């Protein structure tokens, strides 16, 4: 067996010599510290999973850095309302939402992505921090496209959680109607086994989802499948209908 498969097995196969441990973003546990805002599904936010996912991270980050957040900055659920009022109801990228919030920049790259309203300037923290791209300073790991494999995703999630980072991930799947679909959600913690030799093994992730109509975390076991990191949630109100959800984007903030 080559070295790469051996590394992959070390990251993803359960270890028999250690009990699994949950590792969380700074200030987060299963009971508290995370954010999980949900869509209203009233026609204003049906396609704004990216914005709500960004909202969750922004609210957590601002709570962790209160000394740099101006008093006038939207907080809590007001962050989500600001996104809904500032963008058209269409898909985009949570990293673009973070960039707009921190710096005022919004460059989604595709014409079908959500349009920013002209009056929505963002940049709530531009003058609060010395760098005009402050969220970049706090980005621990970003993986997209071919850079996302089962090995790289497992490594990023383990190392990021150990550094106290919060994640958003992009997933792709086939809907029950046979259509290709994409979605973004938050990862607030990971479950890790550590073997006697010190190697770490990713067992699963703790997710918050804007589409599941509930407030709370869901534990999702993950595994390697055809070179990608995938999951299946037979008890999840949405994902139980999708037999294979592929993680294809990872970004983290701390």
Q: Tens digits of per-residue pLDDT, 38-74?
A: 999 999 999 999 999 999 999 999 999 898 899 999 9
**CA–CA separation, 187 vs 207, rounded Å?**
5
Residue 152 lies in a domain: yes
**What per-residue confidence (pLDDT) applies to 199?**
84
Predicted pLDDT of residue 135: 59
Residue 2 lies in a domain: no
Query: 141: pLDDT confidence band, cut at 50, 70 and 90?
Result: low
216 in any annotated domain: yes
The residue assigned the tokens 């089962």 is 150
Do the domain assignments include residue 156?
yes
Residues 14-18: contacts with CB under 8 Å, at least 24 apart: 14/193, 14/201, 14/203, 15/193, 15/194, 15/195, 15/199, 15/201, 17/195, 17/196, 18/193, 18/194, 18/195, 18/196
Kindly report, residue by residue over 238-249, the tens digit of the pLDDT: 788 888 999 999
Specify the pLDDT at position 233. 81
- Give the pLDDT band (50/70/90) at residue 235: confident
What pLDDT was estimated at residue 15? Answer: 45
- pLDDT per position as a tens digit, 124-134: 988 777 665 45
CA 203 to chain centre: 17
Residue 55 domain-assigned? yes
Q: How confident is the model at residue 18 (pLDDT cuts 50, 70, 90)?
A: low
User: In whole angstroms, what is the distance from residue 90 CA to residue 80 CA?
Assistant: 15
pLDDT at 6: 47
- Average pLDDT of the chain is 88
Residue 3 belongs to a domain: no
Residue range(s) defining the domain that contains residue 43: 8-253
Pairing of strands 21-24, 180-194: antiparallel
Residue 1, in any domain of the structure: no
Q: Domain for residue 92, yes or no? A: yes
Question: Could you tell me which of 26, 30, 22, 27 has the C-alpha nearest to residue 200?
Answer: 22
Neighbours of 71 (CB within 10 A): 5
Which residues have C-beta within 8 Å of that of residue 28, sequence separation ≥ 6? Answer: 34, 60, 166, 188, 189
Say how many domains are in the chain.
Answer: 1
200: pLDDT strictly greater than 50: yes
pLDDT digits (tens, 9 = 90+) for 74-105: 999 999 999 999 999 999 999 999 989 988 98
Q: What does the alpha-carbon distance between residue 140 and residue 246 come to, in Å, rounded to a whole number?
A: 21
Rounded to whole angstroms, the Cα distance separating 45 from 47 reads 5
Structural tokens at position 53: 């996912």
- How far is residue 60's CA from residue 19's CA, in Å, rounded to a whole number? 29
pLDDT at 93: 93
């Amino acid at each position: 067996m080559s070295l790469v498969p051996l590394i992959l097995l070390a990251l993803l196969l359960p270890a028999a010599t250690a009990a699994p441990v949950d590792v969380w973003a700074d200030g987060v546990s299963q009971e508290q510290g995370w954010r999980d805002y949900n869509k209203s599904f009233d026609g204003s936010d049906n396609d704004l999973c990216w914005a709500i996912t960004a909202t969750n991270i922004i609210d957590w980050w601002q709570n962790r850095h209160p000394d740099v957040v101006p008093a006038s900055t939207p907080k809590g659920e007001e962050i989500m309302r600001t996104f809904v009022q500032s963008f058209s109801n269409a898909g985009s990228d949570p990293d673009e939402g973070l960039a707009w919030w921190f710096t005022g920049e919004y460059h989604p790259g595709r014409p079908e992505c959500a349009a920013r309203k002209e009056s929505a300037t963002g940049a709530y923290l531009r003058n609060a921090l010395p760098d005009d791209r402050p969220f970049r300073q706090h980005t621990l790991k970003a993986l997209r496209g071919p850079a996302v494999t089962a090995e790289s995703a497992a490594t990023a999630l383990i190392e990021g959680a150990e550094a106290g980072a919060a994640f958003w991930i992009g997933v792709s799947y086939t809907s029950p109607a046979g259509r290709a679909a994409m979605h973004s959600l938050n990862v607030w913690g990971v479950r890790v086994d550590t073997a006697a030799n010190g190697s770490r093994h990713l067992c699963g992730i703790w997710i918050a989802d804007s589409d599941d109509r509930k407030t709370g975390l869901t534990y999702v076991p993950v595994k390697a499948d055809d070179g990608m990191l995938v999951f299946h949630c037979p008890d999840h109100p949405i994902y139980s209908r999708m037999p294979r959800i592929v993680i294809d984007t990872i970004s983290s903030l701390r």
